[in-house]
Amino acid sequence: MKKEDMIVRDNREIAQDIYEMVLEGNLVGEVERPGEFLHINTSRHSVPLLRRPISICNTDKQKRQLTILYRAEGQGTRLLSTYSTNDTVDVLGPLGNGFPVGDVSSGETVLLVGGGIGVPPLYDLATVLREQGATVITVLGFSNKNVVFYENHFQKLGDVYVSTIDGSFGYSGFVTDVIDQKKLSFDRLFACGPVPMLRALEDKYPNVKGSLSLEERMGCGIGVCLACVCHTQNDPDGSDYRKVCSDGPVFPWGEVVL
Amino acid sequence: MSRVNIDLPGLSMKNPIMPASGCFGFGEEIGKLYDLNELGAIALKATTPQPRYGNETPRVAETASGMLNAIGLQNPGLEKVITEQLSRFDTIETPLLANIAGTTMEDYEEVAEALSKTGKIGALELNISCPNVKEGGIAFGTDPQLAAELTKRVKAVSNIPVYVKLSPNVTDITVIAKAVERAGADGLSLINTLSGMKMDRNTGKPLLANSVGGLSGPAIKPIAIRMIHEVRHQTELPIIGMGGVSTLDDILDFIIAGADAVAVGTANFINPFVCLELSQALEQSLERQQINHLYDIRPKEVHLR
């Protein structure tokens, strides 16, 4: 983990309020697995005060560059969207534990399911899984056609199915509807997206091999402040917990309460 | 003797900077980032007799130049703190300030007695000001008689100095400060967080699961400065000052206002290296200005100790 002023190489809107930012710096060399995240201080002043956790979408170690995708929605991410090329941004990272790609064998079929701004870490994941010889099927869910992104990127790595809740793009409905409709079969499932989506997947596939990545409000991002804790599933007295930032954000299927 | 070393009851500090309780855990995470020997002292996370899960999430909410937190004193409990957390400091010389909390006076006595017996703690800090637990805690911090009685009882079972961490959620903080001084406290920590609330516009309800949280960060610095200034003129006790400290100027302001040492809280969450950076910056700044000792920057009337 490093704290570094990274250089902005690109920052552009790729869908409605969805930005793609390319950052350059030495901490790129420390990224180990897809699913790790950066903790970004969007302001040099005290407003907003806290960093923003944003997952890494793609890394290019030779160029010392990585890509993040974020939705400009709150104060911090709206500010981040105003950064220009060659600006510097105060970054802590890489943080958290990524997807257990080492568990995946060559020839396995892996289903990746992403929802909204939970999609970005799956891109790096799909890339690595392909390099390892796995077959990748991706199901991406968005609310409507204006916020669909990276469909073409994923298409280069395997079959892609896109759904929108309002039916304005791709299949109509939720990601689980698409999986049913297309009768998708797979050996392993990796998912990242809103909690209701993750919960629907766990209910549908209680015993599948896989992992999911959580989003949570964070303070420090390194396990100190205990802001982002969650309960575990096999814990009758409710005293056990995991920290999303440092134990996660990727957890084994069925480990934490959603 | 260096320009920045200071000597407080139970805490012989190479510099006046320590992380504040609850903003550093038990040193596990930040201890991987830099040598904890560089710190003046370390205030540990609040310890209660039994393990506590704490409150449900959301536990933090951002505010203008600050944040609200309602963690709810999550900690592994007295036994595990002693067996699993304190050994981390066996090779570290930095003195420890153990923050203790509970819901009854007996809770405080139990934790105080057990921790002081370990021989690994420099001093205790009575947390009578946590705004995020429903019972105990804050009541001891707002009633001068209860605060004094608790101080007396903890002093009676402890063989190390006892600091009392004061709540700013009172009309006159000097009343509590004087009450615990008379009861035998060895020092004061101030201020804890201010009780606050943030609404969620989508639901119309408070954003934090606990509804109420403690406000910290740069937003509360002027209140901390005012309270330290008031207490400084009313008691002889050493003061560990805290509340929104994040820069070198903040540290100087707290020392001038009457703090004898300074704790850094929320700033650790934005920059985990901040305590280290501030201790280096302070020493360099005094050297550059050829000030022999940190306390020389204080006006004479503040120089009580």
From B22's Cα to the closest Cα of chain A, the distance in A is 7
Mutation for testing the A interface, residue in B21, B48, B60, B201 having most A CBs under 10 Å: B60
Cα torsion A174, A176, A181, A184 to 10°: value is: 140
- Name the helix (H) or strand (E) containing A110: strand A109-115
Picking from B33, B53, B60, the nearest residue to A219 by CB comes out as B60
From A166's Cα to the closest Cα of chain B, the distance in A is 21
Whether A95 contacts A245, CB under 8 Å: yes
Which residue does chain A place closest to B26, by CA atoms? Answer: A224
Mean pLDDT score, B9-23: 97
Mutation for testing the A interface, residue in B53, B221, B266, B275 having most A CBs under 10 Å: B53
Q: What distance in Å separates the CA atoms of residue A17 and residue A122, rounded to the nearest whole number?
A: 19
Touching check for B51 and chain A: CB below 8 Å? yes
At residue B304 the predicted structure's pLDDT band, cuts being 50, 70 and 90, is low
Instruction: Determine the pLDDT at residue B171.
Output: 95
Mean pLDDT score, A115-120: 97
Touching check for B267 and chain A: CB below 8 Å? no
Q: Cβ B266–A49 below 8 Å, yes or no?
A: yes
B23 is catalytic: no
| Residue A213, strand partner residues | A192, A250
Put simply, the chain A residues between 224 and 243 with a CB less than 8 A from any chain B CB are: 224-230, 238-239, 241
ipTM score above 0.85: yes
Q: Cβ A229–B25 below 8 Å, yes or no?
A: no
At residue B293 the predicted structure's pLDDT band, cuts being 50, 70 and 90, is very high
In chain B, residues with a C-beta closer than 8 Å to the C-beta of A229 are: 54, 57, 59, 74
At residue A217 the predicted structure's pLDDT band, cuts being 50, 70 and 90, is confident
Q: What mean pLDDT is reported for chain B?
A: 94
In chain A, residues with a C-beta closer than 8 Å to the C-beta of B268 are: 220, 224
Whether B241 contacts B228, CB under 8 Å: yes
Q: Mind listing the pLDDT tens digit for each residue in A135-155?
A: 999 999 999 999 999 999 999
Q: Cβ B217–A49 below 8 Å, yes or no?
A: yes
Mean pLDDT score, B287-295: 95
At residue B303 the predicted structure's pLDDT band, cuts being 50, 70 and 90, is low
Touching check for A73 and chain B: CB below 8 Å? no
Q: Give A244's Cβ-side CA count (13 Å radius).
A: 22
Which residues 6+ apart lie within 8 Å of B231 measured at CB?
B166, B173, B174, B177, B188, B190, B239, B258
Mean pLDDT score, B71-99: 96
Touching check for B284 and chain A: CB below 8 Å? no
Whether A213 contacts A235, CB under 8 Å: no
At residue A119 the predicted structure's pLDDT band, cuts being 50, 70 and 90, is very high
Residues found in chain A: 258
Answer yes or no: is pLDDT of B245 > 80. Answer: yes
Picking from A51, A225, A239, the nearest residue to B53 by CB comes out as A239
Stated pTM of the model: 0.95
Identify the weakest region by mean pLDDT among A12-21, B64-73, B128-137: B128-137
For chain B, report the end-to-end CA distance as a whole number of angstroms: 17
Put simply, the chain A residues between 35 and 54 with a CB less than 8 A from any chain B CB are: 41, 46-51
- Residue labelled with tokens 């100095």: B161
Touching check for A222 and chain B: CB below 8 Å? yes
Answer yes or no: is pLDDT of A70 > 60. Answer: yes
Picking from A50, A51, A224, the nearest residue to B24 by CB comes out as A224
Instruction: Determine the pLDDT at residue B139.
Output: 75
Whether B205 contacts B61, CB under 8 Å: no
Q: Mind listing the pLDDT tens digit for each residue in B270-281?
A: 999 999 999 999
